[in-house]
Amino acid sequence: MCAGKRNKWLLCIVAFAMVVCTLLTMVQPIVAYAAENEISFDSTNVLDDLKSSTVNGQPFDIKDYPFDENKDIQVINFVEYCYSYKANLRDNYGLYVYIYNPKGMNLSTSDKLNKIQMAVAYDAEGNPTDYAKFSLEFCSKTDSGDYKNLFYKFKVIDHKVNGTYFADRVNSNARRYDVSGVEIAKYGSSNATEYGVCGTYIFTGFAEGYGPDANAKSTLSCDIEYLETIELSVKHTFYRSQTSSLGAGHQNQLDTVYFSVPKRFIDTYGKLQRIKAEWYEYKTKEILVTSNTDFYNAAKDYIGVELGDTPNEFGMYEYVEDIGYSLGIGAGKAGDMYVAQWGWNLGTGYLHVPTNALYYMFLVDNIEEYDPYAETVTIGGIQSNDLYEWIKNYSKSYTSGRLPIKDGKISADLFESDIDSSRKMNNENGIIKNGYSYYDFDADVDLQTLSSWSDSDPSFWDNWLNFGLGAAFTGGPNEASKTVPPIQILNASDLTGSNTEIAERLLVNVADVDSIKAEYNNAVTVNGVNDEEMVVVLFRFATSDYYSEAVDIIELNGGFLWSDKHTEGQAYIAQESVFLDFDIIQLTFNKDGVYTVIPVVSSPIDIVNDITPPVNMPDETSWWKIALALAFLILLIVLLAPVLPYIIQGIGWLIMLPVKAVKAIKKSTKNKKELSDDFDYKEE
């Protein structure tokens, strides 16, 4: 209730501000007078509010806001309601946004998609130094008649930033709100679109009953100033190394976004020093890809089905006979036990790391080894769009709940409970963790490092265990580690040579090189007075672990383990990090030690990369493995020939040791018995 202490009608004067944002136009305020009794301002009707407003002293006229398919969404009103410097009078304090929707689209009312970006910190001169997003709570809209969906009203959902709320940050005598943009989603859309607001709203005075003099009439007013912003169109690419310091099956995945910035910002404010972004980061569970149609048809009905996670008294897992197939990595015989590094539905007799359920499965025509310069589909990979559609449309299980984004429609079962430990950060620049993350990347500090296998100084045994017997002698795969800055301004020399050479130089996907070239050419080409010269920025924001390893498909034959058929080269699993609702918040420029923060108007994007096969896929004909093993055995015999008799003698001694022990025990028992009989005889 706005009245607070009174049980009667109270006229609350609310200042509205209208903004039609371009880089060159200023805005005019709307001042509205809203009568209110015991009903919260959250529930007043959007059109009633607008009809009570005035523009430049003239009553609000709805004819000034027609339907128009050629116009974009605009913020026409920004409201501060019932602010008081007295904490006990802030129950109804709030900030409200009024949307003019000229296309009449059915907009989402979800506070998980709709947001507003505002300044949350200032320097000593009053310049904004940090921006953050705030969710928008739907209040009302024109939902019928001639003006259906034309106007929407939202309330800003305040939350703590660095331990403070809006009421704590504003100056009571001049409450300043710097609003760079709003993100509004169309109903059914996965992502919002950001629209520029570009307004600094300064409210002075108080509504009646909320100032230092409780009996004074309202003195509330609002001034509007232009807020400089940068509008970005963000695109994404990625790069994968051949190896990783983590070993076999692992690759470094470097995620990069690129965009164009007007050159005048760098000319005016200096070097692009920092980029602040936010996103939701998750690590997928095992994504199974197979070219075996029979297995796919047998297993597809078990996607999302828990097969059980309780071993029997021998530490072994039962399998579902109806499936008829199992999966295993390194599934083979060790001594008299069957073991595997990883398995699904492996069955009794195997010791392994079990996966209780599969949540992804894709059928492809064939599977070849990873080639960074080949088309994803050609080598048996999964395109990013197909994987993203699977994530959005999966509905088989919600055992772990739902992700706190996208209207809560995405199953958390698709993702691990945590991200790579190497990805986690928590310092003054931000937090990177499972789920919501944000970070202000510094061009000189936050370098991205892709650590290779060869540069990790692996031992003879490391190479053998990870890449096989041959690698133990050759030293394993040879690839140099790479370290790159998070922010790079492109120049013409970066784009010389073939697409393959450019991809290697810039650490991007070769399939995206033409798009990057087009971005650069468009940036440096000025077409007319309404165009301006731009610079292209590569923003490398994440280095994560990509895992892809071949899996054996095991056809079960009546439970006789030694007769199970292993099929190699027709399946693999993969895991990758995804970055949902990735959004750039602000750019910071540095000119001779003077830092200038400019907020960004940029629509969030979802980053889900292609799934690619392992670097090394097994061959169905593994004769070379046998040949290598025999060669190694012969080599060992040659090397050990001088001491071989002693080794054989030692082995014989070890073999005979239990026999000798048994004889010794028997002899000891016999001696004790004879001694006992002799003792009994003497007693008699």
User: Counting beta carbons within 10 angstroms of the beta carbon of residue 220, is it exposed (0 to 12), middle (13 to 18) or buried (19 or more)?
Assistant: buried
> Residue 661, SS3?
helix
Angle, in degrees to the nearest 10, between helices 644-683 and 623-640: 80
User: Is 235 within 8 Å of 515 (Cβ atoms)?
Assistant: yes
Q: What is the dihedral of CA 408, 233, 609, 110, to 10 degrees?
A: 0
Q: Do residues 229 and 198 touch, judged by C-beta distance below 8 A? A: yes
Q: Which residues does the chain have with pLDDT short of 50?
A: 1-38, 335-336, 559-561, 621-624, 626, 665, 669-684
Strand duo 577-591 + 271-283: pairing:
antiparallel
In the numeric block, the tokens 């693999």 are attached to 572
Q: Give the pLDDT confidence score for residue 216 in this predicted structure.
A: 87
Residue 65 confidence (pLDDT): 93
Phi/psi for 436 (5° steps) reads -65, 130
What is d(CA 293, CA 299) in angstroms, rounded to the nearest whole number? Answer: 10
Provide the b/e sequence for 131-159 (b: ≥16 CB within 10 Å). Answer: bbbbbbbbbbbbeeeebebbbbbbbbeee
If you search the block for the tokens 């073939």, which residue do you land on?
A: 498
Determine the straight-line distance between the first and last CA of the chain, rounded to whole angstroms: 111
Alpha helices in 507-574 (DSSP H): 513-524
Per the CB < 8 A criterion, the answer to whether 405 and 112 are in contact is: yes
pLDDT at 339: 76
CA distance 600 to 196: 9
Dist CA 355 CA 413 (whole Å):
13
- 3-state secondary structure at position 119: strand
**Residue whose structure tokens are 């910190």:** 121
Q: Indicate the pTM of the whole model.
A: 0.85
Distance of CA 14 to the CA centre of its chain: 40
From the CA atom positions of the chain, what is the Rg in Å?
A: 34
- The residues that bridge with 438 in the sheet, in sequence order, are 278, 431
pLDDT of residue 35: 32
CA dist., res. 126 & res. 176, Å (int): 10
Phi, psi (degrees; rounded to nearest 5) at 475: 95, 0
- What per-residue confidence (pLDDT) applies to 468? 81
